[in-house]
Structure 1
Amino acid sequence: MLFQYTTRLRPSCLSFRQLSSSYPHRVLPRLIRHQCANLSTETRQEDNYNSKAIVDGLVSKATPFQLPPYLEENRLGWLDDRRFRHGISDYQAERLTVREIAMLALMNSITDKSMWHVKVFDETIVSKWREEVQAMPDSMISDKAFDWCVEELRDKSKDFEQQLFVPTLDSETRCVKSDILISEKLRDDLRQAVEPLLAVSDDEKDWHPNSESKVLNLVHPSLYPLVSGRSRSTATGKVGRETCFESMGEGAIVEPGEKIPTHAVGHGYGRHQKQSQLCSTRFQWLPSEVQFVGDKGTDVKISSYINNLHPIKYKKLYGVIEQMIGKSIPLWNSVLVKGFNQHPGLRIEITEGVTEPREAPFVAEIYEYEDRLVPLAPQIKEYLAQPDNPQITGHWGKDMEVRRKRMELPEDPNEWDLFKVEEAILDVFLRTRTVIHPEPGTSKSYAQWKSSHAPQSIEDEFRAHGLQVIVKLSSIELTPEKPDYAGGSWHLECMLNEGIVATSIFYYDVDNVTDSRIRFSQEACLDETALVYEQSDHDPLSITFGTEAMYEEPAVQELGSLAARQGRIVAFPNTMRHKVEPFSLADKTRPGHRRFLVLWLVDPHFRIMSTADVAPQQVAWAGDARVDGHVKRGLVTLDEAEGYRLELMRERTTLNDAVESNFDSYCLCEH
């Protein structure tokens, strides 16, 4: 079978009481309706066993090859708040208001500044920042919002001085970034260790498919992955790092994975989706086994080879990557999402959109005293002549002129129809009112907001079992003939069976390219049942939350972007989608590049097949096998590997399309 999930903490079914206390109120009724009523007696008995196993400690290894528990049919294991969450139809944050998004952008911008942690205490500098941000057109940063940001950054500066990284774009999820965590020496060591991979002949360079020879793969997990029906596994987990060649060609062929349930029963937020589009029975990226060194700390040793990186020829690079994994662990601790309420949540919480004025004038008066309609005509005419507020009408579309024409009244007030006047007044009210954006500090203080954050400590929780990490080294190469990179597309990392829960990226060599950024978004729900709004009047909420119309609109929200500058390391959870923004050569007369190391963390609560199970498959490495000719019968040629890579890429494109098609929609109902 394809999936080797050795259960470390096997999720159990949560009780109704647990669900009621920890699961978001916005989905609990739907969850209970779809799931809890359908649990069989057998499933409940099994979950009772699993609950005991969790209490007692590590479940003993069962079947070596099995689906992770949260993919099993008729289980609620995916609900367990003891595993890390991912974004493949598994996690939704609550949508942030436009003002809070602006606050994230402001704090992200300030923490990009050199010595920000010192400057944020300088009142002269802070006053200048306030003036600059509030002078911007349509600035969403009010005095209260700015004050909150300063208080938050001053508090974060204390942790920054010790940790050397800072959370950013943070609410229910977060990224982290640092320009000083990785020393110049370590960055230079990485650059030098990678040089031999760059120095190969043009014929040996692995340009990523469909990249127009701009994205150069140095180490990529999509080449020579685990392929069911082709790859061989020793199933012992004992393929060594530098002795891996001795196992080449050995082991049994990995059979196709066990049958995946047709639909994800209750997967994610009670949504039903074909798991066959999310989970591969054909391919799997191969992680390396990573063991902790000593009784404490984050120093690690890579104990099985990195796929596509020769462990003898690139021994120095292995040592540098080990250091980078150790540096990434505190960042992953900060961003990992465990359960549903581990991060602070919203700074601004609302249930309605507030406008000024809150209601239309004249209507109540003319209904109570119909004979006042004509005397009030001058004031009504003046009111109806107001210009539209583009904040409201900017997205109304082409029917505005038709709508205005329909609302026109006769010049003579004696010819006015009461109901037509009411309709015209209400229409102008809707078009001219101002939406009052809510302020932070109303529903909770900064201290209350901060107190709910619960960082992880995977170096303590999984010290005995170690981690599994997937490695990628790439370079985006631009030339005067090819001076522009078009950017990437929105995507999540991995297929569901690979279990990636966090990413770190280190930009170790950036030369002669314009500013480049990586942008983030996430599924973001709204609890329609808790929102207050008038019949068919969605504009106040739409403007407050920054949506188009609150109708049949994908429930996704962009959070902002981080600069991909030299020497910077960033980390983020796999609950977030991301994409690389376009960039170009700065000097069009000479080449430029952006080179980076990517580390993906597999959820350590489970174990997938790794390079400790599957020996190197490259025919080119067979000379190091030190065994007889039977080796080649079990290996994969480069042509084969490149063909498999194209299949794997198509599978992942289908995954991202399937995830997007399964997004919830904002759809405020009519009362």
Structure 2
Amino acid sequence: MLDFVNQITDKPDWQKKVFDDAIVQKWKAEGVRFDQALDDFYLSEKMFEVCLGELREKATVFEKTQTVHVLDAELSVVKSDSIVPPELQKALVAAVRPLEDVPDNQKDWHPGSDQVLDLVHPSLFPLVYGLSRVLPKGEVPLDECAKYIGQGETIPRDDSPRELEKKGPWANNLKLKAWGDFQWLPANVEFRGDQTKITSYINGLHPQKHKELYGVLEQLVGKAVPLWSDTLSWFHKRTTRITVGGTSDEDYELPEGLVYDGPNNMIGVTESDDEWDERLEDMEDDDHYREWKETNRVLVQLEPNDFVPFEKTVPQGQDRVDLRTRFAESGLQVIFKLANIHLTPENPRYDGGSWHVEGALNEHICATALYYYEQDNITDSHLAFRHEYDVEEMTMIPAQSEYTSCEAYYGISQDQSPVKDLGRVLTKPGRLLAFPNVLQHQVSGFELADPTRPGHRKILAMFLVDPHIPVISTKNVPPQDRRWWAEELRQTPGQRLSRLPKELFDEITNNVDDFPISWEQALDIREQLMDERGAIHDSVDETMNWNTFNFCRSQRRIPFFRRWEKSVQFRSVEPAHVAPDLGKIRNAAQAHGCLQLVLYD
């Protein structure tokens, strides 16, 4: 259902076509069909009707906002192909060109790649604990930021272990790496009426040399804010599309008229007789019968609940996040990245990226916005998303040793990783995407459409720092690039150094010890940061994949939380009949001194 809605909302004028009955019938024929790859119907009739209700509601919202939510289960990805007007898209292309039109020996190809060209990257000249300087008072002004290079106090390095413990019945107190010796530096953004204004320098982007690009990026942040607000408004329960509840072997049934006729003739088709119920109890203990039953039983397919309008699913008192209103005074912090991917006839395919979330915990990135602003001669590419099931909660759903229907309904398996694909979104030119930074995402591969000529795609990434938790930013940290410092020094009237011949001036400024940071040192720091972040991502992946499903534990009974006015009592129920709210149970148990809720023999 998520895939179908996502595909429909990629069609031109979908928001109008969804109200055209003739087109809807065509979509129905395409959706309600047997899919050989799935070995099942892609959609049932009821699924299509629910999808149609969602699509028509999304179309109404789209006409007002120019945005649409997709892959919207517990979280949501927001996409828009029209919120950024064509003239702003063209302005970005033009403003970025000076970063691209540099000699080949000055182009910054991403480490380990001859296809990804970094134009602005937060891993260059980041905050380095034990090296970077931070102003103890005052702020670094945007237009004169280079004059502040070298000012401030060195931020101390913290050598204490930075690890978080992931606790739980099966977590085995696994330790997750939090961050290391570095932090990406965001720029500060203020709201001024209906406009957004960048008020501190973008790390790696000189505000005087690229004043035009600053103005364009300010507008694009303004376009991203409503998408960020939408995707961050999704963190509460919605009406479930398909209710599963507790699962057991009762979720299977035998085809009508199919009757067991003994081990020597295991499958017979007859009408049911009066003795069938009497024989059934005896046969349940027969190995041949159990084998026959498991071979021939059919899973009962669940149908979705009736469509419920979005507004009726929002809990009472749950306000939509509005970043512009809520943080009108304090503003936002945004980390910027600009990158191009170039393909050639000699190197015609990009294999895609790795699964990851953005940044480390000390950057507090809560949401991402990606703008795909130019593309030429490449095939379609997608951004894939995945998430982690709650293993503890999922393991409580099926009845003891009767977990096969649970596996089928949720697409999971015994001893399998709880990480599941959520879907993928097409990343076409002009599209702006936003999503919360709790979803792992991966750029899919693509190649040249015409293998005889080169192709490219250009991407702007904007990472939103949690506005509730401001971090050290370029408002506090003067620029660290030695090249900026040398240029400022050369242009400062009255400086004796500025009057030296260029060769002598370069010799002196290039041999300054430690700080500001040279280009060669910056590349080395980036390498260290990437190694550190790679280790963090590997640790996260290892932790996520270690905690596999295990439905074979001997469960006694699950205590279910019930609260009265002055006391908390527990009653026992069979796991086949309830999927309790474990969060409430856990909180209540901890409050009343219960240390363990689920016991194992």
Q: TM-score with structure 1 length normalisation?
A: 0.72
How far 1:356 sits from its partner (Å)? 8.2
Distance 1:147-1:315 versus aligned 2 partners, 3 A rule? same
How far 1:655 sits from its partner (Å)? 1.2
1:602 paired with 2:465, answer: yes
Alignment root-mean-square deviation, CA: 2.8
Residue number in structure 2 paired with 1:40:
none
Q: Distance in 1 between matches of 2:95 and 2:470?
A: 30
Residue number in structure 2 paired with 1:321:
217
* Alignment partner of 1:532 out of 367, 378, 398: 398
Kindly report which structure 2 residues correspond to 1:148-159, keeping only aligned pairs within 5 A, or say none: 148-159=50-61
Distance 1:329-1:345 versus aligned 2 partners, 3 A rule? farther
Q: Which protein has the bigger helix share?
A: 1
1:256 paired with 2:121, answer: no
Q: Distance in 2 between matches of 1:602 and 1:307?
A: 15
Task: Read off the aligned partner of 1:658 and give its amino acid letter.
Answer: S
How far 1:484 sits from its partner (Å)? 0.5
1:349 paired with 2:212, answer: no
1:516 paired with 2:397, answer: no
Residue number in structure 2 paired with 1:109:
7
How far 1:249 sits from its partner (Å)? 1.2
**Cα displacement string for residues 495-550 of structure 1 (whole angstroms, at most 9, x for unaligned residues):** 110100000000000100011111001122252464133x4332211111111x2x
**Cα displacement string for residues 591-610 of structure 1 (whole angstroms, at most 9, x for unaligned residues):** 10010100000001011111
**Cα displacement string for residues 474-498 of structure 1 (whole angstroms, at most 9, x for unaligned residues):** 0000011110001011101001101
* Alignment partner of 2:474 out of 607, 611, 626: 611
Q: Distance in 2 between matches of 1:248 and 1:268?
A: 51
Kindly report which structure 2 residues correspond to 1:332-411, keeping only aligned pairs within 5 A, or say none: 332-336=228-232, 341-342=235-236, 344=238, 346-353=240-247, 358=252, 378=261, 381-384=264-267
**Cα displacement string for residues 30-83 of structure 1 (whole angstroms, at most 9, x for unaligned residues):** xxxxxxxxxxxxxxxxxxxxxxxxxxxxxxxxxxxxxxxxxxxxxxxxxxxxxx
Is the Cα–Cα contact under 8 Å of residues 91 and 216 in structure 2 kept in the other structure? yes
1:312 paired with 2:208, answer: yes
Residue number in structure 2 paired with 1:223:
124
* Alignment partner of 2:33 out of 122, 135, 138: 135
Is the Cα–Cα contact under 8 Å of residues 585 and 592 in structure 1 kept in the other structure? yes
How far 1:472 sits from its partner (Å)? 0.3
Is the Cα–Cα contact under 8 Å of residues 261 and 268 in structure 2 kept in the other structure? no
How far 1:422 sits from its partner (Å)? 1.4
The percentage of counterpart residues that share the same residue type is 37
Q: Which protein has the bigger strand share?
A: 2
Aligned residue for 1:662, secondary structure, equals: helix
Is the Cα–Cα contact under 8 Å of residues 473 and 596 in structure 1 kept in the other structure? yes
Distance 1:271-1:108 versus aligned 2 partners, 3 A rule? farther
Distance 1:345-1:669 versus aligned 2 partners, 3 A rule? farther
Is the Cα–Cα contact under 8 Å of residues 517 and 581 in structure 1 kept in the other structure? yes
Aligned residue for 1:324, secondary structure, equals: helix
Is the Cα–Cα contact under 8 Å of residues 132 and 154 in structure 2 kept in the other structure? yes
Task: Read off the aligned partner of 2:463 and give its amino acid letter.
Answer: W
Residue number in structure 1 paired with 2:568:
none
How far 1:379 sits from its partner (Å)? 6.2
Aligned residue for 1:113, secondary structure, equals: coil
Task: Read off the aligned partner of 1:236 and give its amino acid letter.
Answer: K
Is the Cα–Cα contact under 8 Å of residues 354 and 437 in structure 1 kept in the other structure? no
Residue number in structure 2 paired with 1:235:
136
Task: Read off the aligned partner of 1:451 and give its amino acid letter.
Answer: V
Distance 1:355-1:142 versus aligned 2 partners, 3 A rule? farther
How far 1:242 sits from its partner (Å)? 1.2
1:440 paired with 2:304, answer: yes
Q: Distance in 1 between matches of 2:475 and 2:529?
A: 22
Task: Read off the aligned partner of 1:184 and give its amino acid letter.
Answer: P
- The aligned length equals 513
Q: Distance in 2 between matches of 1:187 and 1:326?
A: 14
Residue number in structure 1 paired with 2:196:
300
**Cα displacement string for residues 198-230 of structure 1 (whole angstroms, at most 9, x for unaligned residues):** 11111000000112x100000000111111122
Task: Read off the aligned partner of 1:290 and give its amino acid letter.
Answer: V
1:172 paired with 2:74, answer: yes
Is the Cα–Cα contact under 8 Å of residues 33 and 43 in structure 2 kept in the other structure? no
Task: Read off the aligned partner of 1:459 and give its amino acid letter.
Answer: R
Structure of higher RCO (CA pairs closer than 8 Å, 6+ residues apart): 1
Aligned residue for 1:553, secondary structure, equals: coil
Aligned residue for 1:274, secondary structure, equals: strand
Distance 1:665-1:378 versus aligned 2 partners, 3 A rule? closer
1:290 paired with 2:153, answer: no
**Cα displacement string for residues 323-342 of structure 1 (whole angstroms, at most 9, x for unaligned residues):** 0000000000011268xx52
Task: Read off the aligned partner of 1:210 and give its amino acid letter.
Answer: G
Q: Distance in 2 between matches of 1:496 and 1:337?
A: 21
1:427 paired with 2:326, answer: no
Task: Read off the aligned partner of 1:116 and give its amino acid letter.
Answer: W
Task: Read off the aligned partner of 2:245 and give its amino acid letter.
Answer: T
Q: Distance in 1 between matches of 2:207 and 2:263?
A: 82
Q: Distance in 2 between matches of 1:643 and 1:425?
A: 68
Residue number in structure 2 paired with 1:185:
87
Q: Distance in 2 between matches of 1:124 and 1:455?
A: 36
How far 1:383 sits from its partner (Å)? 4.0
Aligned residue for 1:105, secondary structure, equals: helix
**Cα displacement string for residues 240-269 of structure 1 (whole angstroms, at most 9, x for unaligned residues):** 111101101111112113745654376999
Q: Distance in 2 between matches of 1:600 and 1:218?
A: 16
Is the Cα–Cα contact under 8 Å of residues 260 and 289 in structure 2 kept in the other structure? no
Q: TM-score with structure 2 length normalisation?
A: 0.80
Is the Cα–Cα contact under 8 Å of residues 248 and 625 in structure 1 kept in the other structure? no
Deviating more after overlay: 178-187 vs 136-145:
136-145
Is the Cα–Cα contact under 8 Å of residues 357 and 433 in structure 1 kept in the other structure? no
Residue number in structure 1 paired with 2:100:
198
Task: Read off the aligned partner of 2:353 and give its amino acid letter.
Answer: G
Q: Distance in 2 between matches of 1:149 and 1:420?
A: 41
**Structure 2 gap ranges (5+):** 270-281, 498-507, 555-601
Deviating more after overlay: 427-436 vs 111-120:
427-436
How far 1:354 sits from its partner (Å)? 7.0
